[in-house]
Structure 1
C-alpha cells in the first residue's frame, strides 16, 4: 500500500461557526465542492440517516482530476463543535482525516490533515511513478474545495499557504 500524509490550509474571511457548519454537513458538499459526485449518510447498519454525530458513517464518491473514481467511507470518531471533526476512512483509501478550525480577526483558518494509504491494486502498483500525479490531483481537489466553499459562503478566500 502507498501511504500519503497531506496537510491543507484554507483561510476564509468568514466566521468560524459558518465555516464549521458547511464542513460539518457533508451531505451538502456536492453543492459546492467540484469533483465530489455524491455523499450518502449511513448509520452503523448501512441505513440512510441525517445529521452528523459521532459514529455516523458517510460514503463519498469522488472523481479525481486525473479521471479515476474514488469511493470511501468516513466514520466520524470525534466531533467538537465548532472547531474539530475527525474521521476514520475505509474503502479505496484507508486512514484518517481531521478538520481543525480556528478564528482570528474575522478570518477562519481551516486545516485538514489526511493520512491515508491506497487500497486499490492499480494505485499501489502505479504509486512509485504516479505519486507526484496523485499528490497533484489531491491538491487540485482541495483547492477546488476551498474555492467552492468560499463561493458557497460568499466569503473571500485568502492565501492558505500558511498553516
Structure 2
C-alpha cells in the first residue's frame, strides 16, 4: 500500500431510527450544524458538495463529495471524493435493537502536498486525527438526532 493511502472503518451506534439517521447523513449541507470538524459545505450541483474539514491538527482539507449511490431501501450510501483526498466513502445504515448501526468505510489517497510529504513520518498522527474527527462526528450526530426526537 502507498504511504499516502489510507483505509478507515468506523461503526457508529446511534439511538435513533434508521430513517432519521439516513436523512441526517445524506443531508451533507447540514453537517456543520452537528459535526464540529466540518467547517463549511458549499453545493456544487445536485450530486456534488465541497466540504472544508479541520480536526485537531493545524490543517484543513478541501474535499469534493460526489454522490454515486443513495439507496434508502437498502440503507446504502456511496460518494466519490476528490480534492485533498481522492477515493471513496461508503456507508451502510442498519437497524439494530434500540436504534441504528452506521458502518462507514473510506479508501482514500492523500493528495494534499503537506499530507503527502509528511505521510512517511506523520501517518500515525493523521490516523489519530481521523479517529478524533469521527468520534466528534458520532457524538454530534447523536446529539442532533436527540434534538430531532424531542
TM-score (norm 2): 0.92
CA distance in 1, matches of 2:8, 2:17: 25
Specify every segment of 5 or more residues in structure 1 that has no aligned partner in the other structure, as ranges: 44-48, 50-55, 156-163
Shift in Å, 1:70: 0.3
Specify every segment of 5 or more residues in structure 2 that has no aligned partner in the other structure, as ranges: none
CA distance in 1, matches of 2:58, 2:114: 14
Instruction: Please name the residue that 1:97 is paired with.
Output: 89
Matched, 1:84 2:76: yes
Alignment partner for residue 128 of structure 1, among 101, 117, 120? 120
CA distance in 1, matches of 2:138, 2:76: 17
Flag as ranges the 4+ runs of structure 1 deviating above 6 A. Answer: none
Matched, 1:14 2:5: no
Note the aligned Cα RMSD (angstroms).
1.3
1:56-75 pair list within 5 angstroms? 56-75=47-66
Q: SS at 2:19's partner residue?
A: helix
Shift in Å, 1:85: 1.0
Instruction: Please name the residue that 2:134 is paired with.
Output: 142
TM-score (norm 1): 0.85
Alignment partner for residue 28 of structure 1, among 19, 22, 30? 30
Equivalent residue pairs, number: 144
Q: SS at 2:132's partner residue?
A: helix
Alignment partner for residue 42 of structure 1, among 36, 41, 44? 44
CA distance in 1, matches of 2:124, 2:96: 34
